[in-house]
């Protein structure tokens, strides 16, 4: 795919990145050695690398210093960019929690596996244990595996992370707003929020706990690094912040000019620093790949409690760039060239096959959608994205857009928007309005902010992109056109007995009648 030059026209970022880009140019010669170094890793003549994936929740593209954040600073994320590689067109596989996480952890578009949207507490479905997760890929190569944070792929005991390849798990089973204090939920919509270790509920999360979750996950991750410093490890650290309700601990609360949202990102940034420090302390810098990104764009209706997509259009819950384009930095001293920028498109589904190849693991037996993008990670000269197109689904298997090279074709659908109105304040959301999106064509190279629809003047380009649309519909279906996909696989579905057991566990006092929020 052709590089997207647009993000580097983002003034503030260019100013901050100029030294990094210069370093990139002067160091190009050295980079040609990386291919050789990496192939030796894959051949197994040295210890396979540790991998840490830090995955935030609803953090926008603009919520990172190097991407132009204002009102707070992110020195550790900026350090990751200075010592590693910044990705400016890194896509979530869908602009919503459960779907995006499925993409990251399985290398599949989530609808291929029957996961759409964000699962509710007590959901009857979850990620099918018959699928191969990234944790299982690592586990198969003898790695110690751990997850600290938000799961959101099924909350029955049989569907929790320890049944998906993680040796150990500590965190909440779904989003932090799925609790009795949801601002729009009414008192009865959501059950008490459990804090879980492996498959055991430790306690019900209260406000004081919410303020501590980021630091607890961090402490667990640092501890795990120390305990497993002498063997290969994989850590998945999906913070439940900055998804609403946003909370920061005392050390960060009230500390930034922006307010609570800035405090929350500052604490996440601190957490990144703690992870990097632990890796350095144990002498693992040159043997550890750290990846930082987010699951989807900012939840704009929450206004002062939402992040920023930077210059990109719209946010979470839409396939405009603001919903899908994520902050993303990767660091691996000696392997990933320091201070460089990748402006080529890539997606979180590509990490599983890339990491599998890196550690010499076989790909999952069942078909996946992601492809190896290692050349993009290490900045091989002339590296291209290996996909012909990315497919952007949302809601219940609705195909909303495809992206190929510098082009993005939006298909007719309905999308939410604030319609130019401000978002909400202090944790209370404003209302979205529904906008009709037509058949619209954008050239992301010159128009990454999706301002100028070129559909009327480029019918030949639409015809080209429709080939990808038809392939997506054939394989995965499209509920908007009633296309039945031929390759859909089922999620895990709880038995009636399991579902009743889960319901009783979540709502020990009985599940209330469903109310309209």
- Active-site residues, by number, are 97, 152
- Between 274 and 313, how does the x/- string for binding to Ca ion read (CB under 5 A)? ---------------------xx-----------------
117: left (phi over 0), alpha (psi -120 to 50) or beta: left
Within 10 angstroms of residue 477's Cβ, the number of other Cβ atoms is 22
Instruction: Select 53 or 97, whichever has its Cβ closest to Ca ion.
Output: 97
> Is the Cα dihedral 79, 82, 88, 90 positive or negative?
negative
Residue 377 sits in the site that holds Ca ion (CB under 5 A): no
CA geometry: angle at 209 spanning 208 and 213, to 5°? 130
Least distance from Ca ion to the Cβ atom of residue 210, Å: 16
- In this chain, which stretch among 14-22, 49-57, 133-141, 464-472 interacts with Ca ion, using CB under 5 A? 49-57
DSSP 257: S
Least distance from Ca ion to the Cβ atom of residue 432, Å: 16
Which residue number is nearest to Ca ion in terms of Cβ? 97
Within 10 angstroms of residue 386's Cβ, the number of other Cβ atoms is 15
* Total number of residues that touch Ca ion (CB under 5 A): 5
Residue 160 sits in the site that holds Ca ion (CB under 5 A): no
Instruction: Select 57 or 267, whichever has its Cβ closest to Ca ion.
Output: 57
**How far, in Å, CA of 400 to CA of 390, rounded?**
11
Map tokens 């005991």 to a residue. 157
Q: Which of residues 55-74 bind Ca ion (CB under 5 A)?
A: 57-58
CA geometry: angle at 195 spanning 140 and 218, to 5°? 65
The three state secondary structure string of 406-470 is CEEEECCEEEEECCCCCCCECCECCCCEEEEECCEEEECCCCCCCCCCCHHHCHHHHHHHHHHHH
Least distance from Ca ion to the Cβ atom of residue 262, Å: 19
Query: Residue 363: how many CA atoms within 13 Å on its side-chain side?
Result: 15
What is the bridge-based pairing of β-strands 492-493 and 407-410?
unpaired
- Between 86 and 125, how does the x/- string for binding to Ca ion read (CB under 5 A)? -----------x----------------------------
Instruction: Select 222 or 319, whichever has its Cβ closest to Ca ion.
Output: 319
Instruction: Select 120 or 471, whichever has its Cβ closest to Ca ion.
Output: 120
Least distance from Ca ion to the Cβ atom of residue 456, Å: 35
Least distance from Ca ion to the Cβ atom of residue 317, Å: 10
Least distance from Ca ion to the Cβ atom of residue 167, Å: 25
Instruction: Select 297 or 364, whichever has its Cβ closest to Ca ion.
Output: 297
C-beta of residue 90 within 8 angstroms of C-beta of residue 347: yes
Instruction: Select 244 or 341, whichever has its Cβ closest to Ca ion.
Output: 244
Residues that bind Ca ion (CB under 5 A): 57-58, 97, 295-296
């Amino acid at each position: 795919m052709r590089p997207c030059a647009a993000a580097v026209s983002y003034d503030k970022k260019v100013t901050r990145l100029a030294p990094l880009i210069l370093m990139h140019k002067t160091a190009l010669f050295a980079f040609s050695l990386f291919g050789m170094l990496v192939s030796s890793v894959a051949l197994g003549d040295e210890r396979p690398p540790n991998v840490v994936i830090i995955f935030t929740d609803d953090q926008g593209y603009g919520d990172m210093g190097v991407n132009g954040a204002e009102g707070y600073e992110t020195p550790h994320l900026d350090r990751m960019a200075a010592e590693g590689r910044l990705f400016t067109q890194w896509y979530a596989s869908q602009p919503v929690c459960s779907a995006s996480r499925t993409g990251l952890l399985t290398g599949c578009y989530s609808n291929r596996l029957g996961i759409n949207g964000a699962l509710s507490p007590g959901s009857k479905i979850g990620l099918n244990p018959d699928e191969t997760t990234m944790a299982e890929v690592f586990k198969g190569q003898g790695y110690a595996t751990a997850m600290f944070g938000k799961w959101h792929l099924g909350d029955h005991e049989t569907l929790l992370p320890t049944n998906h390849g993680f040796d150990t798990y500590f965190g909440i089973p779904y989003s932090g707003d799925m609790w009795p204090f949801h601002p729009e939920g009414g008192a009865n919509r959501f059950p008490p929020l459990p804090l879980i270790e492996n498959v055991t509920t430790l306690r019900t999360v209260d406000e004081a706990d919410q303020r501590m979750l980021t630091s607890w996950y961090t402490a667990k991750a640092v501890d795990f690094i120390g305990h497993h410093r002498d063997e290969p490890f994989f850590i998945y650290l999906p913070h439940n912040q900055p998804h609403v309700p946003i909370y920061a601990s005392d050390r960060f609360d009230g500390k930034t000019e922006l307010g609570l949202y800035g405090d929350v990102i500052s604490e996440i940034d601190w957490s990144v620093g703690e992870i990097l420090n632990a890796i350095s302390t144990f002498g693992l810098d040159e043997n550890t790949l750290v990846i930082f990104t987010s699951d989807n764009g900012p939840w704009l209706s929450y206004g002062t409690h939402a992040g920023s997509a930077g210059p990109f259009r719209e946010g979470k819950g839409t396939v405009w760039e603001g919903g899908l384009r994520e902050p993303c930095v990767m660091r691996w001293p000696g392997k990933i060239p320091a201070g460089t920028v990748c402006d080529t498109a890539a997606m979180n589904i590509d990490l599983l096959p890339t990491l599998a190849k890196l550690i010499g693991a076989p790909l999952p037996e069942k078909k996946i959608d992601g492809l190896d993008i290692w050349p993009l990670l290490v900045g091989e000269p002339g590296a291209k994205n290996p996909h012909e197109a990315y497919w952007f689904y949302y809601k219940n298997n609705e195909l909303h857009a495809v992206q190929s090279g510098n082009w993005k074709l939006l298909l007719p659908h309905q999308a939410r928007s604030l319609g130019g109105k401000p978002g909400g304040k202090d944790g209370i959301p404003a209302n979205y309005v529904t906008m009709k999106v037509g058949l619209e064509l954008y050239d992301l190279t010159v128009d990454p902010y999706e301002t100028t629809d070129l559909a009327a003047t480029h019918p030949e380009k639409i015809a080209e992109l429709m080939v990808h649309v038809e392939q997506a519909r054939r394989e995965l279906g499209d509920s908007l056109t009633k296309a039945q996909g031929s390759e859909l696989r089922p999620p895990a579905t709880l038995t009636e007995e399991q579902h009743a057991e889960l319901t009783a566990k979540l709502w020990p006092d009985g599940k209330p009648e469903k109310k309209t929020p």
